[in-house]
Homo-oligomer: A and B are copies of this chain.
Amino acid sequence: LEKFIMTAKTVKDLFIHSLSDIYSAEKQMTKSLPQLARAATNEELSAAFKTHLEETQGQIDRIDRLVEGAGIRLKRVKCVAMEGLVEEGREQIEEIEQGPVLDTALIAAAQKVEHYEIAAYGSLIALAKQLGETEAATLLAETLEEEKATDERLSLLAEQKVAAEALGK
């Protein structure tokens, strides 16, 4: 989602548009994840955010490679949906004191981000396949698997450690 007017007339336009959007979203996450890592009290959660920051930087590099390989040029757009999702995490950090309840809220906020990305990469893979861009589809599928794994890691944390701590609260 972006603020500029979109003129997608073909599947390829839509692919470039959607790729530019997720590129913006990932860039935003590289700024948000260090804040989430600092705000988290549970050490495993903090470590999960740091690991995902490294993954996110790799995902940005992967888009750069994909763009080069496919000979396309990304548009300068700002993903405002991700802006809203990042804002959610920031508000929670401001409003809830550090501890297990904040940790639970941060996990929920981060899982919304992961699911935004899971949906976005799923659609991008479908578009890449339609366009016969098999190399791009393979690269995007690698990122999709990382996003799914992060989501699952966060679910486990929510159900186990952090949950027990938050209830003790």
| Nearest CB on B from A151, distance (A) | 8
In the complex this chain forms, how many copies of it are found? 2
Task: Say whether A104 contacts B163, CB under 8 Å.
Answer: no
Question: Which residues of B are found within 8 Å of A87, using beta-carbon distances?
Answer: 1, 80
A119 touches B108 (CB 8 A): yes
**A91 partner, pick from B6, B9, B14, B85, beta carbons under 8 A:** B6
Q: Which residue of B lies closest to A80 (CB)?
A: B84
Taking beta carbons and an 8 Å cutoff, which residues of A are in contact with B? 1, 5-11, 13-14, 18, 80-81, 83-85, 87-88, 91-92, 95-97, 101, 104-105, 107-108, 111-112, 114-116, 118-120, 122-123, 126-127, 129-130, 151, 155, 158-159, 163, 166-167, 169
What are 25 A-B pairs at a CB distance below 8 A? Answer: A5-B95, A6-B96, A8-B101, A10-B101, A13-B101, A14-B101, A14-B104, A14-B105, A80-B84, A80-B87, A81-B85, A81-B88, A84-B84, A107-B123, A108-B120, A112-B120, A114-B119, A115-B116, A115-B118, A115-B119, A116-B116, A119-B151, A122-B155, A126-B159, A129-B159
